[in-house]
Amino acid sequence: MITSKVTSKTIALGIVKGVGIIVLAALALYFLYQIQSVIIYLVVAFILTLIGNPILDFFKRKLKFNHIFATIATLIIFVLLIFGLISMFIPLVLAQGENLSLLNTTAIEKSSLELFNKIALYLDNHGIDSSRLFKEANISSRLSFSFIPDLFNSIIGTVSSFGIGLASVLFITFFFLKDRLVFIISAKDLIPESQEDKILHSLHKINHLLSRYFIGLLLQLLIVFILYLIVLLIFGVENALLIAFLCAVLNIVPYIGPLVASVVAAILTMLSNLGGDFQTEILPLTIYVMIGFWIVQLIDNNISSPMIFSKSVSSHPLEIFLVVLITGFLFGIVGMIIAIPFYTILKVFGKEFFPDNKIIKLLTKNI
C-alpha cells in the first residue's frame, strides 16, 4: 500500500516536473521571439566583430595604434563602408527597380503576361500549339512572379531595418571589439579549470577561421557582382545594375543560389527588353546572358568558392558540398546559409576534445 502511494506520488511529481519544463521552454521560446530584433543585432555585431578583428590587429601591429584608437578606426571604416554603400549604391538599385516595376507586383505581372504572349507567338510560328501546351502545364496558375518584387522589397526592407538598428549594431560591435579580452577573462571564470585551455584555444581558432570566412564571403559576393555586371553591360541589358545586385545576393545560398540567379537573370533580362522582337532580339539576348552567367559561375565554383572554403575554413569542397546538402534537406535555406560556419565550429571543438577519434582526425587534419 505504501509502495503504491510512493509510486503514485513519484509519477505525479514527474508529470508536474515535465509540464513545468515544457512551460519554461515555451516561455523561453516566446521570450526569444519577442527579442528577435536584439538577437539579430547581436548576430550582425558578432559577424562585424569577426570581420573587424584582423583590421583592428592591423592597426595595432602595423600602425602602432593603441587598443582604443584601433577599435575606433575599425568602426570608422565600417561606418564609411556602410554609408558609402547606402549613398552611392542603393539609390541606383532603387531607381532601376522602379524602372523595371519591381516594386509593383501588378506591373510586373502585366509585363509577364506580355512576355508569355510573345513566347506563345514564337511557339505558334514554329508549329507548337502554345495554348494547348500552356493549358496542360497550367502555367498561369502555377507560376507567380510575385517572388521577384517580394525578394526585392525584402532586400530593401532589410537594408531599412538595418539602418534603423545601425546605431545599436555599431554600439555593440564597438564593445565586442574593445572588450574582447575582458570577455575572454570573464569566460575563464565560467569555464571549468580542467577544460579551460581546450575551450579558450577552440574559441581562438573559431574566431580566426570565421573571420577569414566572412571576409572571404564578402569578397566573393563582390567579385560575382562585378562579373555579373560586366556580362550584362557587354550585351547591353537594361537595368544591369539591379539584375547583377539581385543575382549576387542570391549567391549567399551555396550551390542553389547561383542556379536560381541564372533563372532570375533570364526572366529579368526578358522583362527588361520587352520592346524588341522575341525571336530576333529577346531570346538570343537571354541565351547570351545565361551563357555569360554560367561562365561566371564556373569561375566562382573553381576559383572563388574553393579559395574561401578550402583556405578560410580548411575544408575540402566535396566535404562542404555534402554538409550544405544535408543541412539544406534538414533545415531549408537558412540551414544552407549557416552550414559552413556551424560545421567549422563543430570541427574545431571536435579536434580539441576528441583528437584521437579517427573520423575527427581525418576531417580536421588541415585545421
218-238 pLDDT, tens digit per residue, is 888 888 999 999 999 998 887
Q: Where are the domains of the chain?
A: 1-34, 207-367
> What radius of gyration, in Å, describes the C-alpha atoms of the chain?
26
Please give the pLDDT value at position 210: 82
Residue 312's pLDDT is what?
77
In tens, the pLDDT along 312-362 reads 777 777 788 888 888 888 877 777 878 888 888 888 888 888 877 888 888
Supply the DSSP symbol for 193. G
3-state helix, strand, coil in the chain (%, to 5): 85, 0, 15
Q: According to the model, what pLDDT value does residue 192 have?
A: 72
Q: Name, in order, each residue with C-beta under 8 angstroms of 354's C-beta and a sequence gap of 6 or more.
A: 360
Q: Mean per-residue pLDDT for 206-214? A: 81
Residue 8 has pLDDT above 60, yes or no: yes
Residue identified by cell 514527474 is 14
Tell me what pLDDT residue 25 has.
Answer: 86
Q: Read off φ and ψ for residue 65, nearest 5 degrees.
A: -75, 150
Taking residue 279's Cβ as centre, other Cβ atoms within 10 Å add up to 13
Task: List all residues 6 or more positions away from 328 whose beta carbon is below 8 Å from its beta carbon.
Answer: 256, 335, 336, 339
Residue type at 223 in one-letter notation: I
Residue 295: band (very low, low, confident or very high) from pLDDT cuts 50, 70, 90: very high
Sign, Cα dihedral of 288, 290, 294, 296 = positive
d(CA 282, CA 260): 20
Q: Looking at the predicted structure, is the pLDDT value of residue 130 above 50?
A: yes
- The Cα 167–Cα 189 span in angstroms is 31
Q: 242: burial class by Cβ within 10 Å (0-12, 13-18, 19+)?
A: buried
Residues 173-191 pLDDT 10s: 888 888 877 776 676 666 6
Q: Quickly count: other Cβ atoms within 10 Å of residue 342's Cβ.
A: 14
Cα distances (angstroms) measured from residue 29 to each of 26, 44, 100, 124: 5, 20, 41, 56
pLDDT reported for residue 292:
92
Which residues touch 307 (CB under 8 Å, ≥6 apart)? Answer: 216
Reported confidence tier of residue 103, pLDDT bands at 50, 70, 90 = very low
Residue 127 confidence (pLDDT) = 66
Indicate whether 159 pLDDT > 80. Answer: no
Taking each helix axis from N to C end, the angle separating 130-137 and 105-125, rounded to the nearest 10 degrees, works out to: 130
% the chain with pLDDT above 90: 6
Asked whether 208 and 367 are in contact (CB, 8 A), the reply is no
Give every CB contact of residue 201 below 8 A, 6+ residues apart in sequence: 352
Helix (H, G, I), strand (E, B) or coil at 143: coil
State the amino acid at position 322 in one-letter form: L
Yes or no: say if 133 and 123 are a contact pair by the CB < 8 Å rule. yes
pLDDT at res. 88: 58
Distance CA 157, CA 40 (A): 14
| C-alpha separations of 345 from 31, 313, 327, 337, 364 in Å | 26, 10, 15, 14, 11
Provide the residue type at 268 as one letter: L
Q: What is the pLDDT of residue 109?
A: 58
pLDDT at 226: 92
Q: In which residue are the cell numbers 529577346 written?
A: 282
pLDDT in tens, 64-93: 888 889 999 999 988 888 777 666 566 655
How far is it, in rounded angstroms, from Cα 272 to Cα 101? 10
> Cell numbers of 79, please?
561606418
Q: What secondary structure letter does DSSP report for 191?
A: S
Please give the residue that has the higher pLDDT: either 129 or 361.
361
Number of separate helices (H) and strands (E) present in the chain: 17, 0
Q: Could you tell me how many residues make up the chain?
A: 367
Q: Which three cell numbers stand for residue 216?
A: 572571404
